[in-house]
Amino acid sequence: MARVVVDVIPKPEILDPQGQAIVKALPRLGFTGVKDVRQGKHFELEVDDEVDDATLAKIAESFLSNPVIEDYVVRRVES
Amino acid sequence: MKIGVITFPGTLDDVDAARAARAVGAEAVSLWHADDDLRGVDAVVVPGGFSYGDYLRAGAIARFAPVMQSVVDAARGGMPVLGICNGFQILCEAGLLPGVMLRNVGLHFVCKDQWLRVENTETAWTTRFDTGADILIPVKNIDGRYTASAETVRELEAEGRVVFRYVDGNPNGSINDIAGICSANRRVVGLMPHPEHAIDALTGPSDDGLGVFYSVLDATRSLVTA
| Residue tagged active-site, from B33, B85, B92, B93 | B85
Query: Mean of the pLDDT values across residues B187-214?
Result: 97
8 Å CB contact of A68 and B149: yes
Contact between B102 and A68 using a beta-carbon 8 Å cutoff: no
Q: Look at chain B and count its residues.
A: 226
- At B224 the pLDDT is 53
**B60 contacts A17? CB cut-off 8 A:** no
pLDDT digits over A18-46, tens only?
A: 999 999 999 999 999 999 999 999 999 99
Domains for chain A: give ranges and CATH numbers.
2-78 (3.30.1280.10)
The rounded distance, in Å, linking the Cα atoms of A36 and A2 is 33
**What distance in Å separates the CA atoms of residue B149 and residue B25, rounded to the nearest whole number?**
39
- Complex ipTM: 0.84
**Cβ-Cβ contacts under 8 Å for A29 (sequence gap 6 or more):** none
Per residue in A39-65, pLDDT (tens digit) is 999 999 999 999 999 999 999 999 999
**A35 burial type by CB count under 10 A (0-12 exposed, 13-18 middle, 19+ buried):** exposed
C-alpha distance across the termini of chain A, in Å? 6
| Average of per-residue pLDDT across B99-109 | 95
For each of the domains in chain B, give its residue range(s) and CATH number, in order of start. Answer: 2-225 (3.40.50.880)
Does the annotation count B33 as an active-site position? Answer: no
Catalytic entry in B92, B119, B182, B196: B196
Interface of A with B in 56-75 (CB under 8 A): 63-64, 66, 68-69
Over range B25-43, report the average pLDDT: 97
Contact indicator for B12, B191 with CB cutoff of 8 Å: no
Instruction: Say whether pLDDT at B21 is over 50.
Output: yes
From chain B, pick out residues whose CB is under 8 angstroms from the CB of A68. 98-100, 147-149
* Residue A79 clears pLDDT 70, i.e. is over it: no
Instruction: Please report the sign of the dihedral spanned by the C-alpha atoms of residue A19, residue B176, residue A67, residue B110.
Output: positive
For B224, counting Cβ atoms within 10 Å of its Cβ (0-12 exposed, 13-18 middle, 19+ buried), the class is exposed
Under 8 Å between Cβ of B27 and B3:
yes
**pLDDT value, residue B223:** 57
How large is the average pLDDT for residues B63-72?
97
Q: Which residue of B lies nearest to A43 if distances are taken between CA atoms?
A: B56
Residue B73 pLDDT > 60:
yes
Which of A14, A17, A64 is facing B107, going by the closest CB pair?
Answer: A17
Which pLDDT band holds residue B226 (cuts at 50, 70, 90)?
Answer: very low
Residue A29 CA to residue A46 CA, distance in Å, equals 37
Contact A66 B149 (CB under 8 A): no
Query: In a mutagenesis test of the A interface, which of B145, B147, B156, B170 is the best target, namely the one with the most A β-carbons within 10 Å?
Result: B147
